[in-house]
Structure 1
Amino acid sequence: MIQNLIKKNKKLNHYFLIAYSGGLDSTVLLDKLIKIRNINKKIKIRAIHINHNLNENSEKWEEHCIKECKKKQVYLITKKIFINKKNGNIQDQARKKRYNLIKKYILRKEILLTAHHIDDQCETVLLSLKRGSGPLGLAGIKNKSIFNKKNLIIRPLIKNTKIELENYAHKNSLKWIEDPSNYNTKYDRNFLRNKILPLIKNRWPYFVVNVNRSAENCNEQEKLINEFISEIFQNYLKPDGSLEIKNFDKISKEKQNAIIKKWISKNNNFLPSKKILEIIKKEVIYSKIDANPKLIIKNNQIRRYNKCLFWIKKFKSIKRTILIWHYLKKPLKLIDNLGYLYQNKTKGTKILIPKKNQLVNIRFITEGKISILGKNNKKKIKKIWQELYVPPWNRQRIPLIFYDDKLIAAIGKFITKEGEPKKNKTWCIRWNINQL
């Protein structure tokens, strides 16, 4: 498959990073690529081995990989991860940590190669069926996709069976390690691999191949759906990344679900279940007009404001925080990754200079009615935020400048009458962050 890709795509990078566990599959992949490298000198290979520290032989396996790569003149990156065995699914934890490390060490020009084969594909599809997945989940493992937003990931062995890999390894006298945890049937994938699939393959020898064909069909169907929905999706996507839901009730339930799924996937590469989609619609989109709904998904929130959905990161409350700006000539660092404030000669929020005896402090909440420049009457702060189209979740994350207990300005949003700049008594304050 790699040879075909290189022939068809002359502009394709010839730099490869192999996820090398030392097991049968990745050993075969490494050997195959080395043979291609021997013919095509443009090919550059690196490998990465992640030591999961889950087995007493983990160090020996790492040593095996180092020895093999040294013998085959392949640069090897070795890294260790540690899994909390008491915290959830061990295999899922290991996979996430493994890929996070690979993201850290892969070069921009490299293509990631993994040794998934057709039996892995069958297991993945069956597990997706168990979870009640739709066409996207049943499409299984793609032979080619984008990794880390910029790298291509290719699975060259995805159409090879496990038996074919074993035959290749024996024929070429390859050495590999055997992980005994692969036979531990307390894990769903291992249960399928060791208990269920042998029975199925014994009765239906072509079952695995046919499941792969079904996965390919689902993948084609998902591509068609995606092409169809992409144009519709753009009509609902706002320039700021929010999703307009003003006329959502006028389109079919199926289109609604597809649009929401695409929007969430675009923001977080996360595919919501059918149940989550229904919750989003019931508790956020179609909740009461005067409500301020939110739904927590992992470390993010879905919020509704001004007939739009917003996908924002979950953050802690800082509304009771008070920061003292002791040295006005030096930048003031804000909390919770909100950047910092600093003086600027010409650009920023122009306000009255504080008196020498006034304490300049930053807060993130105020109450009651206030008077702001450009408005005749005092208004409640909530009404002012509404008129400025500031979403509720951002209203307590905008730095408010106080002199003693007197509100002077909301940086970048408004200035109070008490903070009105006067000739020769003006200073500019800039906020170096523009997330809100």
Structure 2
Amino acid sequence: MAPLLLSRLQGLLNDALAETPPGRAVWIALSGGLDSCLLLALSADVCKQADRPLRAVHINHGLQAAAQTFERHCRMLCERFNVPLTVVNVAVDTQGDGIEGAARNARYEAFFATVPPGDALWLAQHQDDQAETFLLAALRGSGLRGLAGMPFRREAHGITLMRPWLSVNRAQLEAAAHSLALTWCDDPTNSDIRLDRNRLRHRVLPAIRERWPAAAAALANSTEHASETDTLLGEYAQEELQTLLVNSQYIDATALGEFSRPRQRLLVRTYCHQESLPTPPQKRLESLLDQLTAKADAEVCVEWPGAQARLWRQRLYLMAPLQTLPPWSVSWDGQAPLETPLGPLGWQVAPSQAGTQDFRSTQRLQVTWRQGGEVMQLVGRGRRDLKRLLQEAEVPPWERGRLVVISQADACIGVVRPPAQLLCQAEGVVFTRQASPA
């Protein structure tokens, strides 16, 4: 049995290796527990045969006295299999999150900061873990994406995360580890049933298996069905979303409002996912959709952690929260590259008449945020209020205070939206794009 089992586990690793970008390294997320130690041991052989570089990363959360024991064991194991190990110490911030969620967030942040873009990170989660994830999602009232559980593969922060053993249960992994006389560390917190996942693992799932022995496989299979359905819905939603997007900047709220409420929810969530924004909680999403028919001049803003939605002139903008701007004002010669707190200015400016004294002498320019009340002299139009010009250019209200105004002797001569969008320029000056650095 053991040779067949080991052959199957190695076969799954070879399948994962075939989906790993050629020439890139494979990293093992090594905790020191049974699953990840076995993953390291078998991956060492698979990667050696394929002449593929293998590395390991261990995250020390520092949350328990056994943390140093886990780290020492990981170092010993990596020395045994001649695998380079990177150890990352993290601080777990439990404010607002349970200890499980906070530790997971810290762990993945460390993974993304450690594994180079283009490489693959293999994780040792298995079928039983997937079943627990499904039950936790269902008990939290999650939607289809939550019920889809952990994906076999996903791209994040430039790296490929893979879970080769989602079709294998823990009993099989334990049998394989014993057949190799492998050693590992048992996490003492795994028996703490005050933690949700542990309570499911030790109290709920054993009772379910007593009546339905194949429960873990069945629940894991349900996650596959949910994942497939979610993927298909996402593909259809992506196609439909393209008919609603205007200049890749905002969603046509009028057109969105003509759909049924379920389709509205799906499209908003799909757009957030596409833009790597957190999806809105249910109540926030319903509040947002209720306001799709707000008056054109209304300025609707619905916020949730990590994102916000703004509705203006029947345009729905979904974006990261706007950061407060720092006080900022500089003197400029009109030519040198200029960096603003929102990115490069991207332009240079000079008088339009040849022979006119430039701005590098006594007529240096002043560059600052828009304050309000600015007036600009336009070619053929005379003096115009900047406020009116921005309205004509359909600049959203929340962006108008985040514009860079360039002035000469208190006269506004140009307005730029960083990075590098020139909105308007005055008579008597010429703006040209700043050459990109070589």
Report what 1:413 is aligned to. Answer: 423
1:64 aligns with 2:64: no
Report what 1:137 is aligned to. Answer: 146
Q: CA deviation at 1:262?
A: 0.7
1:373 aligns with 2:378: yes
Correspondence 1:15-414 to 2 at 5 A: 15-37=25-47, 40-148=49-157, 150-283=158-291, 285-318=292-325, 321=327, 323-325=329-331, 331-335=337-341, 337-340=342-345, 343=348, 360-368=365-373, 370-374=375-379, 376=381, 378-411=383-416, 412-414=422-424
Q: Name the SS of the counterpart of 1:410 in structure 2.
A: strand
Q: Name the SS of the counterpart of 1:281 in structure 2.
A: helix
Gaps of 5+ in 1: none
Q: CA deviation at 1:237?
A: 2.3
Distance 1:293 1:427 in 2: 37
Closer, same or farther: CA 42–282 of 1 in aligned 2, 3 Å: same
Q: CA deviation at 1:431?
A: 7.2
Q: Name the SS of the counterpart of 1:174 in structure 2.
A: coil
Distance 2:337 2:284 in 1: 43
Q: CA deviation at 1:339?
A: 3.0
Q: Alignment RMSD, CA only?
A: 3.1
Q: CA deviation at 1:379?
A: 4.6
* TM score, norm. by length of structure 1: 0.85
Closer, same or farther: CA 5–181 of 1 in aligned 2, 3 Å: closer
Q: Name the SS of the counterpart of 1:303 in structure 2.
A: strand
Distance 2:20 2:190 in 1: 39
Instruction: Give per-residue Cα distances to partners, 1:145-166, cap 9 Å, x unaligned.
Output: 2232x43222111111122222
CA contact 1:303–1:310 (8 Å) conserved in 2: yes
Q: CA deviation at 1:10?
A: 9.9
Distance 1:388 1:340 in 2: 19
CA contact 2:250–2:317 (8 Å) conserved in 1: yes
Q: CA deviation at 1:75?
A: 1.1
* TM score, norm. by length of structure 2: 0.84
Distance 2:95 2:237 in 1: 41
CA contact 1:136–1:219 (8 Å) conserved in 2: yes
Closer, same or farther: CA 342–379 of 1 in aligned 2, 3 Å: closer
Query: What is the aligned residue count?
Result: 417
Q: CA deviation at 1:264?
A: 0.7
CA contact 1:365–1:400 (8 Å) conserved in 2: yes
Aligned residues: percent identity?
26
CA contact 1:23–1:176 (8 Å) conserved in 2: yes
Q: CA deviation at 1:346?
A: 9.5
Instruction: Give per-residue Cα distances to partners, 1:303-355, cap 9 Å, x unaligned.
Output: 2234322233323344x9451417777555433x33357746699xxx99569
Which amino acid is the alignment partner of residue 36 of structure 1? Answer: V
Closer, same or farther: CA 415–229 of 1 in aligned 2, 3 Å: closer
Distance 1:220 1:322 in 2: 50
Q: Name the SS of the counterpart of 2:183 in structure 1.
A: coil
CA contact 1:49–1:62 (8 Å) conserved in 2: yes
1:2 aligns with 2:10: no
